[in-house]
Amino acid sequence: MVYYQRLGTVPPKRHTQFRKPDGEFYYEQMQGEEGFAWNQSFLYHQNPPTVITGAESVDQAGPPSVANEPLLPRHLRTHELAPATDAVLGRHRLMGNSDLTISYVHATESSGLYRNAVGDELVYVEAGGAVVESSFGELEVRAGDYVVIPTSTTHQWRLTSESLRLLIVESSGGGHIRPPKRFMSPLGQFLDGSPYNERDVRGPSRLIETRTGPADVLVRTRTGVTRYSYAFHPFDVVGWDGYNYPYALNIADYMPSTGALHLPPPTYITFEAPGFVICSFVPRMFDYHPEAVKVPYAHANVDSDEVLFYTGGDFMSRAGSGIDQGSISLHPAGYIHGPQAGSLEKSLSAERTEETAVMIDTFRPLFLGEAAAGIEDADYPWSWAHGWGQDVTGAR
């Protein structure tokens, strides 16, 4: 959802006869949220979208299930993950709980057809370019894009660069990934003062030329993945309209607020979903009070686990921690975290930050996936102790 869009040809009224030039019917399909009680789109297919001719289970890694014990801050280096096949089957599942799964993939091939029947997906493009092809048409995406793909959108990732680096959030807590309510009027227009608005949000720009013939589609469910064989290709749509479609927002189009003194992370909220929020840290002026401390104070995330994906800039407050491009840090509830030694003093004369980072705050504890163990920086929990000259006994 963001606002009403229409591509191609739709009949003047819903649920009326809509015929091809040869007199045959087009086939109407509704894709909606929350049953029939929330935003919807109506698509018009050349062939019925319902005809399955086969179904089989597909083996996939289970959800992240390793408890974060002993409770530690974590640092994962995503660029140490091996390149994988594609943006769907090659996902390394790093962290998750019942509300979401966080994965990373360095894809080197285009994906097959796929839809997530559990929840919306939010994909952050760290590097590379692609076209997200769906029944709604072509959505070109590039580095820095957040791509929101609503539940049950049949789509595929077609690479337009040699490879693609993606951070993927699969929502599974019910409900949907949406712009925060406080940005919106009751009827769904972005209010003035929102950090982004309709002009920044890109939907599919054109329909896909009709594809014919049978097609396989992978469907993610709560318990696994099923491969359906369809008699007719799902990309045979002649028109659609509505509020439910995949869209992109580039993080550079997110306009940050700044203040005289430090503003807390919720200032930078970008999307919200049941059980978590997404915030964007982008290049911006530092606080301008003459006595301002420009790095964050130490803080305890009493009610949330805090995940940061570092995707550009200098990460001033983390100097000496090993954090670099492609790093993910996890600061769990129960651990008090803050800047590294020396960064407070260094910040005093700085006027702006060039950092870009994506934050995912979850409201329930995160479990770790098997893929996380292989890319973990085991020294990270002790980086504060090293900075303040302390001996470390390590995890026991």
Residues in contact with Fe ion by CB under 5 A are: 306
- Closest separation in Å from C-beta 296 to Fe ion: 6
In whole angstroms, the minimum distance from the beta carbon of 337 to Fe ion comes to 6
C-beta of 61 vs 336, nearer to Fe ion: 336
Q: How far is the CB of 258 from Fe ion (least distance, A)?
A: 18
Instruction: Using the minimum distance from each CB to Fe ion, give the nearer residue, 253 or 306.
Output: 306
Phi then psi for 182, rounded to 5 degrees? -70, -10
Please say which residue, 148 or 357, places its beta carbon nearer to Fe ion.
Answer: 357
Shortest distance, position 318 Cβ to Fe ion, whole Å: 11
Nearest distance, CB of residue 264 and Fe ion, angstroms: 9
**Which CB, 33 or 306, lies closer to Fe ion?**
306
Output 166 or 307, the one with its CB closest to Fe ion: 307
SS (H, E, C) the chain: CCCCEEEECCCCCCCCCCECCCCCECEEEEEECCCCCCCEEEEEECCCCCCEEEEEEECCCCCCCECCCCCCCEEEEHHHCCCECCCCCCCEEEEEECCEEEEEEEECCCCCEEEECCCCEEEEEEECCEEEEECCEEEEECCCEEEEECCCCCEEEEECCCCEEEEEEEECCCCCCECCHHHECCCCCECCCCCCCHHHEECCCECCCCCCCCEEEEEECCCCEEEEEECCCCCCEEEEEECCCCEEEEHHHCCCCCCCCCCCHHHHEEEEECCEEEEEECCEECCCCCCCCCCCCCEECCCCEEEEEEEECCCHHHCCCCCCCCEEEEECCCCEECCCCCHHHHHCCCCEECCEEEEEEECCCCEECHHHHCCECCCHHHHHHHHCCCCCCCCC
Residue entry with tokens 């009070």? 289
Distance between CA atoms of 87 and 91, rounded to whole angstroms? Answer: 6
What is the smallest separation between the CB atom of 298 and Fe ion, expressed in angstroms? 9
Report the residue number whose CB is nearest to Fe ion.
306
Kindly tell me which of 236 and 306 has the beta carbon lying closer to Fe ion.
Answer: 306
| Minimum distance from residue 339 beta carbon to Fe ion (Å) | 10
Residue 301 CB, shortest distance to Fe ion, in Å, is: 6
Q: Please give the structure tokens belonging to residue 145.
A: 């894009």
Closest CB 104 distance from Fe ion, rounded Å: 20
Task: Give the distance from CA 56 to its chain's centroid.
Answer: 28
Nearer to Fe ion by Cβ, of 31 and 317: the residue is 317
- Taking the least distance from each CB to Fe ion, the nearer of 126 and 306 is 306
Largest CA distance in the chain: 81
CB of 330 to Fe ion, least distance (A): 10
Give the nearer residue to Fe ion in terms of CB position, either 164 or 357: 357
Token representation of residue 227: 């491969």
